[in-house]
Amino acid sequence: MMKIPENFILGAASSAWQTEGWQGKKEGQDSYLDKWYKEERFVWHNGYGPAVATNFMEKFSEDIGFMKEIHLTHYRTSINWARFFTDYENLVVDEDYASHVDQMIDQLLAAGIEPMLCLEHYELPAYLMDQYDGWSSRHVVELYTRYAEIAFERYGDRVKHWFTFNEPIVIQTRCYLDAVRWPHEQNTRKWMLWNYHKVLATAQAVACYHQKGYKGRIGCVLNPEMVYARSSSPEDQKAKEMYDLFYNRVFFDPMIKGYYPDELIELCKKYGIYFDPKEKDLQTIQEHTVDFLGVNQYYPKRVRAPRYQWNQETPFHPEMFYETFDLPGKQMNNSRGWEIYPKVMFDMAQYLKENYGSIPWLITENGMGRENEEFYMNDEGQVEDDYRIQFISDHLYWLLKAVENGANCEGYMLWAFTDCVSPMNAFKNRYGLVRIELDKERTRSLKKSASWYRSIIDDRILHYEEKPLIM
């Protein structure tokens, strides 16, 4: 049995594009995800995508009612940048959509739920992709900064927790580093330039928020992978360090410390992927670090030293410094293809404490996706998702141990509040406390995990015992 601190956040998360649907969306308001869905619908599981999603635009009051019933303390979602404006150059706000955000915030607060808003959860307007190649452009950084300023003006009186991006490394890694998602352009230099421009955009949004004197805080949701070396050999340890450098520290260091690691700069210059920043922009990054961090954490990353010489005829990729290691005997979520290793929560907490000091942070995503959940329905039609309860318990146990050990972790937010659309995966794997039927009405029902989650919110006790060795 573990006591959960009274001020420890127990919430849940989702995003605009994964829930809203296109109800009321106007011509020209496609996001990157909307455009990808239109271009490659065949890669989305059973054709489901953002077009209907969970129909949150019409159902948000019902969902907030469920949140209140579960006694949720915090809810994190995003503003859909692509739907927030009707003119992305002159920043003309779509008052219909802005009113929806207003209503959602007000209803959350009335239900005793603290809203946490993210300015970009993959909802980059497709217009900015078409006109400026997205985050390749410094102009897009300025348009985003003005968007942030307008969002703060509209909602900063009620929303006290802001995030600039959710998982800012993901889109360019999938699209331009690995080229596994539309538009399938392999361009490592663009990958690093997008990384940099999102760091700069964050710093400029932080500067704006602080200069306006809002009574809240602003940070970024990162998805660092806690990386483990295969062995203690210097070669495997170096592989671990390089993975950490390119995928974790590339955002951690400038956002928290205010500067990039020298080794990363040297490697970017050596391999022709340097982003060539202006001195005044580096100064902005240095002077406007984040107030706090969101950390999305699902699984570990295991690496070893590469066994084969890098093919010099291929573009630079950080994989030249590491090779993925497949740990024998690991526990797996076979629905998702991800390793289950709950101690990753404790180890990430230690990593943050040792490398980034007292920066406040919280887990903004962690959860269990399972396919074919209808197989776990009882006679009353409720999903008995004991596997999700176990997954959350295991991870929350290690997170609370980290808090006992001095981690500056403020809470845990489950992904996700409801089942929702995920890129390509669509509704294949379900993550929610609330089940979404794929009928026309997107009918909702509470899973077993919902009442269990309410019990730990109310009682502030996690009933958990470390599994004993079988002798």
From 20, 323, 365, 373, the catalytic residue: 365
Selection from 114, 171, 169, 123 nearest residue 147 by Cα: 123
End-to-end, the C-alpha distance of the chain in Å comes to 23
How many CB atoms are located within 10 Å of the residue 56 CB? 25
pLDDT in tens, 219-253: 999 999 999 999 999 999 999 999 999 999 999 99
pLDDT in tens, 370-409: 999 999 999 999 999 999 999 999 999 999 999 999 999 9
* pLDDT classification of 337: cutoffs 50, 70, 90: confident
Say which residues have a Cβ less than 8 Å from residue 400's Cβ, sequence separation at least 6.
Answer: 2, 4, 8, 462
Angle between helices 56-70 and 95-110 (to 10 degrees): 10
354 belongs to the catalytic site: no
Distances from the Cα of 151 to the Cα of 101, 147, 162, angstroms: 10, 6, 10
263 belongs to the catalytic site: no
Residue ranges of domains in the chain, CATH in brackets: 1-460 (3.20.20.80)
pLDDT in tens, 11-47: 999 999 999 999 999 999 999 999 999 999 999 999 9
From 149, 167, 225, 373, the catalytic residue: 167
